[in-house]
Amino acid sequence: MSLSDKEKNTVKDFFAKVVSRSDDIGNESLTRLLVVYPQTKSYFAHWKETTPYSAPVKKHGITVMGGVYEAVSKIDDLKAGLLTLSELHAFMLRVDPVNFKLFNNCLLVVLSMLFPDDFTPQVHVAVDKFMALLSLALAEKYR
Amino acid sequence: MVEWTAEERAAIQDIFNSLDYEDVGPKALQRCLIVYPWCQRYFGGFGNLYNAEAILSNPMVAAHGIVVLHGLDRAMKNMDDIKQTYAELSVLHSEKLHVDPDNFKLLADCLSVVIAGKMGTNFTPEIQAAWQKFLSVVVSALGRQYH
């Protein structure tokens, strides 16, 4: 399920449109991941707290969104573009890839919540596909 | 048996109390057919589903979206035994409609996205958690009678 040129443009346009709220998107998405799927907290036992919208969550949300935007800029070759990030997740962080889907679910809900008029079904399908391909590229170096 | 806290029951009740079935139902089903196009296989008799525009203006899709959403009412009224409440519906989806139960989750996800769009920041993380828990119980109950 690869992205058509039209879908790539849809993804790039949408993310460019919402970039000014990228920090909020990250904060909301990560907060929801930890609340809706509490098992994901297991990856953050080293944090002072994992409560909604707390400082470590906010900070890390920014980091994660940085990765998403990097992927948008490398949308034509995600596998090559996300190689370093994949190595990080595979060898150091060792996040089970099943969690990527959970994060993606939260991101989609947040995008719909914050941008109800822009997150049309057409944008939704393009972004959903993009996040799935991003997740695949992120899992590339796992085994 | 599924355990529900008072807060979870209240959250789900609130969502249903302010639910605009005629708006959310169609939107959820339209979104499902657009975002997960393989779901269209179950709607052969619905006419033109060739592209997003066709799906969004298709009256049969809109009408059926309302039917499906009202289907959730019984689960909301019987939260302590959704499994039993949906036994017959599960048999229907398995024996008559032949729907792959994995598809239930896809529609559930689209419904959550639509509700998030309507509620905005009122769709708090805690409410989202309760709502998705409710939907996952419904999805599980609908798949229960498959064999």
Task: Dump pLDDT digits (tens) for B92-102.
Answer: 999 999 999 98
Question: Which residue in B75, B74, B80, B78 sits closest to B1, CA to CA?
Answer: B80
Tell me which residue in B35, B119, B121 faces A124 most closely, judged by beta carbons: B35
Q: Evaluate whether residue B86 is within a structural domain.
A: yes
- How many folded domains does chain B comprise? 1
A114 close to A21: Cβ distance less than 8 angstroms: yes
Nearest CA in chain A to B121: A113
The per-residue pLDDT for range B62-85, each reduced to its tens digit, is 999 999 999 999 999 999 999 999
Q: What is the CATH number of the domain that holds B76?
A: 1.10.490.10
What distance in Å separates the CA atoms of residue B22 and residue B18, rounded to the nearest whole number?
Answer: 12
Assess whether pLDDT exceeds 90 at residue B1: no
Nearest CA in chain B to A129: B35
What pTM value is reported for the model? Answer: 0.91
Task: Say what the alpha-carbon torsion angle B45, B47, B49, B54 is, to the nearest 10 degrees.
Answer: -150
A109 close to A102: Cβ distance less than 8 angstroms: no
Query: What domains are there in chain A, each with its CATH number?
Result: 19-139 (1.10.490.10)
Q: How far is A10 from chain B (nearest CA, A)?
A: 14
The reported pLDDT for the residue numbered B50 is 93
The per-residue pLDDT for range A119-141, each reduced to its tens digit, is 999 999 999 999 999 999 999 99
Q: Evaluate whether residue B39 is within a structural domain.
A: yes
Question: Which residue in B17, B48, B14 sits closest to B30, CA to CA?
Answer: B48
Q: Evaluate whether residue B1 is within a structural domain.
A: no
- Which residue range forms the structural domain that includes residue B134? 6-143
B113 close to B32: Cβ distance less than 8 angstroms: no
Question: Which residue in B147, B146, B59, B76 sits closest to B111, CA to CA?
Answer: B76
Average pLDDT over residues B45-51: 95
ipTM over 0.90: no
Look up residue B2 and give its two tokens: 């599924």
Chain B residues touching residue A52 (CB < 8 angstroms): 125
Question: Which residue in B137, B118, B116, B138 sits closest to B127, CA to CA?
Answer: B116
The reported pLDDT for the residue numbered A135 is 97
Question: Which residue in A95, A104, A97, A91 sits closest to A137, CA to CA?
Answer: A97
- Concatenated DSSP letters for B83-143? HHHTHHHHHIIIIIS---THHHHHHHHHHHHHHHHHHGGGS-HHHHHHHHHHHHHHHHHHH
Segments of chain A scoring below 70 in pLDDT: none
- Concatenated DSSP letters for A1-64? -PPPHHHHHHHHHHHHHTGGGHHHHHHHHHHHHHHHSGGGGGGGTTSS---TT-HHHHHHHHHH
What distance in Å separates the CA atoms of residue B134 and residue B10, rounded to the nearest whole number?
Answer: 12
Look up residue B57 and give its two tokens: 């203006």
Q: What is the mean pLDDT of chain B?
A: 96
Chain A residues touching residue B112 (CB < 8 angstroms): 109
